[in-house]
Amino acid sequence: MPGNNIDARTAALWAKIVEWYAENDVKDRLPKLASTWIQVDNDTPPKLKGNASTTRALIPFMYEAAEELLDRSDPIENAMQTAAYHLLECYRCLSNDELHWRTILPASSTAFVLQYKALANHHNGVDWRCKPKLHHFLELCKGTSKPNMSWTYRDEEYGGSVALLARSRGGVLNPKIVSERTLFRFKQQNPVPRLV
């Protein structure tokens, strides 16, 4: 992106994203783009701050931007373009219109993960960092059913329920007290199960 510093380049990228949002009538939009979401000076990995729908909406933009701005003759940039293409293909497979998703989804998910892992290895796991959810993504894509037809997010939903049970309005945040309060509230809200 053009610009003399990271803030100027981030502003140019944000302008490009806003223009793309308008051209494609995207409803789920990031409210802003901070330079620390893309690149951090120290060994802390950058993190795009957005919910699932806003991040998902950016995947087609990411592919278009990679094709426009990156150089296929550079091996690192080629890996980025290839990863962007295969991630877009994975999301296209979630459409009801995609008839060949059973072959495309496993192949594209594997190709995406291989490119992502290579980029993580090259960048020492800072700018590109592999998380356990990458393995989970791969397993979902290799399954026998379309992932978006069975995703329930039960683990995240349950985590939110437990967080509500543990919530405190003040006082000491002692692990023993928080645990006791959480279990007590859980017992209040749920009947004792029958064993026979």
Residue 196 lies in a domain: no
Residue 195 lies in a domain: no
The neighbour count for residue 183, using CB atoms within 10 Å, is 12
In this structure, the answer to whether residues 123 and 175 fall within a common structural domain is no
In this structure, the answer to whether residues 95 and 49 fall within a common structural domain is yes
In this structure, the answer to whether residues 105 and 165 fall within a common structural domain is no
Q: What is the pLDDT of residues 48-103, one digit of tens each?
A: 777 777 888 899 999 999 999 999 999 999 999 999 999 999 999 988 888 889 99
In this structure, the answer to whether residues 45 and 103 fall within a common structural domain is yes
In this structure, the answer to whether residues 87 and 166 fall within a common structural domain is no
Q: Alpha-carbon distance 182 to 186, whole Å?
A: 6
* Residue 84 buriedness (CB in 10 A; 0-12 / 13-18 / 19+): buried
Residue 21: partners with Cβ closer than 8 Å, 6 or more residues away: 29
In this structure, the answer to whether residues 83 and 173 fall within a common structural domain is no
Query: What's at 35, amino acid-wise?
Result: S
In the prediction, which pLDDT does 155 show?
A: 53
C-alpha dihedral sign at 66, 111, 152, 185? negative
In this structure, the answer to whether residues 107 and 176 fall within a common structural domain is no
Residue 60 lies in a domain: yes
In this structure, the answer to whether residues 82 and 164 fall within a common structural domain is no
* Number of domain units in the chain: 2
In the prediction, which pLDDT does 77 show?
A: 95
In this structure, the answer to whether residues 143 and 185 fall within a common structural domain is no
Q: Alpha-carbon distance 166 to 162, whole Å?
A: 6
Q: Alpha-carbon distance 132 to 64, whole Å?
A: 27
- In terms of residue numbers, what domain contains 84? 6-149
In this structure, the answer to whether residues 73 and 120 fall within a common structural domain is yes
Provide the terminal-to-terminal Cα distance of the chain, rounded to the nearest Å: 67
Q: 126 to each of 43, 70, 148, how far by Cα in Å?
A: 6, 20, 30
36-52 in b/e form (b: 16+ CB < 10 A) is: eebeeeeeeebeeebee
Q: Which of 69 and 3 is assigned the larger pLDDT?
A: 69
In this structure, the answer to whether residues 185 and 107 fall within a common structural domain is no
Kind and range of the H or E run holding 93: none
Q: What is the pLDDT of residues 6-21, one digit of tens each?
A: 889 999 999 999 999 9
In the prediction, which pLDDT does 25 show?
A: 93
Q: What is the pLDDT of residues 134-183, one digit of tens each?
A: 888 898 888 888 777 765 545 555 666 777 778 777 777 788 888 888 89
Provide the pLDDT confidence category of residue 193 given band limits of 50, 70 and 90: confident
In this structure, the answer to whether residues 158 and 143 fall within a common structural domain is no
